[in-house]
Amino acid sequence: MKLALDAVLVATLLVLALFSLAARQARASAIGFMGFGLVLALVWVRLGAVDVALTEAAVGALTGLLLLGATSLATPAAQPSRPLRLALAGLCALVAGGLAFLVLEAPDPAPSLAAAAVEPLAALDLGNPVTAVLLAYRALDTLLETVVVVLALIGIWSLAPDADWRGAPMVPGADAPSPPLRLLARLLPPVGLVVAVHILWIGADAPGGKFQAATLIAAMGLLVLMAGLAPAPKLGNTRLRALVVGGPALFLALGLLGFLVPGSFLAWPEGLAKPVIVLIEVALTTSLAVLLALIVLGPGARRPRA
Amino acid sequence: MSALADLFTGAMVVAGLFFFLAGTAGLLRFPDTLSRLHALTKADTLGLGLIVLGLMAQAPGPLAALKLLAIWLIALLSGAIAGQLIARAARDGRG
């Protein structure tokens, strides 16, 4: 029974992957890719990686939106030359083949750091080993990840002409929002925010955490903006920019404090690991939510709306 | 008791799947956007509701059952509104 379920999932995944590669229109490709992400999230659940599944579902929906937006802007490119396409196909086949070989040839039992990751959980006062990896053992990776998101936003903002880049971004559909969308934008955000805080809070002990929560908050914010219930913020706003860099800056500052107390960068003081991690998670969630929403909204536009 | 619950779950999930099947058939076979949307939203809403009802009988506690119910209510809301939005886009010739 479970084998049949897995077989259906894998077959659907492969069909969706082929569809988004073979689709003639870029828009169809993007939609196929969003479906692929959703099925992939189910596969992660089947593999027991619920944290990854939640991230895939949340961030996948957001990147799908970005891809859809990009397809409406992009002009159809000329077909690349045949040798180039063959070389690309060869490269992709090599990577996929290499990964398949490694997975199939992995020694049994596979080498695992799981025991090492679970063992110090009590000292950190955490129940979810994934959160411990992200914010205690490998905090540097998480710090760099959030900085990368800030850099992405700076890159997007720099696409605006000089005169407009402090203005509010254009919100698609906000000039003439339809009544059903306005209804949804009034009903859903309270529910979405409660779920986001829940996901953030249980991240310490169960699957969940800042990225998933931040994506949900960003989506709720975008919904309100697209329904025209609130004007898009001006990108030059100092408070908005402080929100954007606040989380990463706090993370960095606490990391530097680690030099003083336990004696190394990004090391948390003995006994205070849990409060420090919670503080960072909350600050990063706020920053990431604003960042992700602003990335979707894009650069400042010519007609700043009041 | 648990055999009765299993029977209930089985019946509800099968009934729910039937509506999903009917909705999918409608999506593939109906001639225009509005009829396809009609088939899809009705079937998905009712189908998901029946499946959730069936699964609530298997929930370990009242809290888990309420979570399932909340999932259905949110799907109901977003499904109905997404249906309206697509229908309006189709009517205005943007579909």
Q: pLDDT of A217-236, one tens digit each?
A: 999 999 899 888 888 888 88
* Interacting residues of B25 by C-beta distance below 8 A, sequence separation 6+: B39
**Residue whose token pair is 């025209």:** A228
pLDDT, tens digit (0-9, with 9 covering 90-100), for A117-156: 777 777 677 777 777 777 777 778 888 888 898 999 999 8
Give me chain A's average pLDDT, please: 84
pLDDT, tens digit (0-9, with 9 covering 90-100), for A11-68: 999 999 999 988 888 888 889 999 999 999 999 999 888 888 888 888 888 888 888 8
pLDDT at A306: 42
CB contact under 8 A, A178 and B77: no
CB contact under 8 A, A191 and B74: yes
Say if the ipTM goes beyond 0.95: no
CB contact under 8 A, B84 and A187: no
Which residues in B lie closer than 8 A to residue A191 (C-beta atoms)? 74
pLDDT at A305: 45
pTM: 0.81
* Interacting residues of B20 by C-beta distance below 8 A, sequence separation 6+: B43, B44, B47
Is the pLDDT confidence value at A82 over 50?
yes
SS3 state at A169: strand
Closest C-alpha to A128, from A44, A209, A215: A209
Residue numbers in chain B where pLDDT is lower than 50: 95
Query: How many C-alpha atoms does B25 have within 13 Å on its Cβ side?
Result: 6
Is B88 an interface residue toward A (CB < 8 Å)? yes
Which residues in A lie closer than 8 A to residue B78 (C-beta atoms)? 184, 188
Is B74 an interface residue toward A (CB < 8 Å)? yes
Tally the domains of chain B. 1
pLDDT at B31: 86
Q: Give one DSSP letter per residue of chain B, joined into a string.
A: -HHHHHHHHHHHHHHHHHHHHHHHHHHHH-SSHHHHHHHHHHHHHHHHHHHHHHHHTT-SSHHHHHHHHHHHHHHHHHHHHHHHHHHHHHHTT--
pLDDT at A304: 45
| Between A263 and A40, residue with greater pLDDT | A40
- For B65, the domain range is 2-91
Which residues in B lie closer than 8 A to residue A188 (C-beta atoms)? 74, 77-78
Is B71 an interface residue toward A (CB < 8 Å)? no
First to last CA, chain B: 50
- Most A CBs within 10 Å: which of B81, B84, B94, as the mutation test of the A interface? B81
The span from the CA of A129 to the CA of A113, in Å, is 11
Give burial (CB, 10 Å; 0-12/13-18/19+) of B61: exposed
Is B85 an interface residue toward A (CB < 8 Å)? yes
| Residue ranges per structural domain of chain A | 1-71, 114-306
On the question of a cis peptide bond just before residue A109, with omega within 30 degrees of 0, the verdict is yes
* For range A167-185, the mean pLDDT: 82
pLDDT at A303: 56
Structure tokens at A188: 């859903």
Percent of chain A with pLDDT over 90: 23
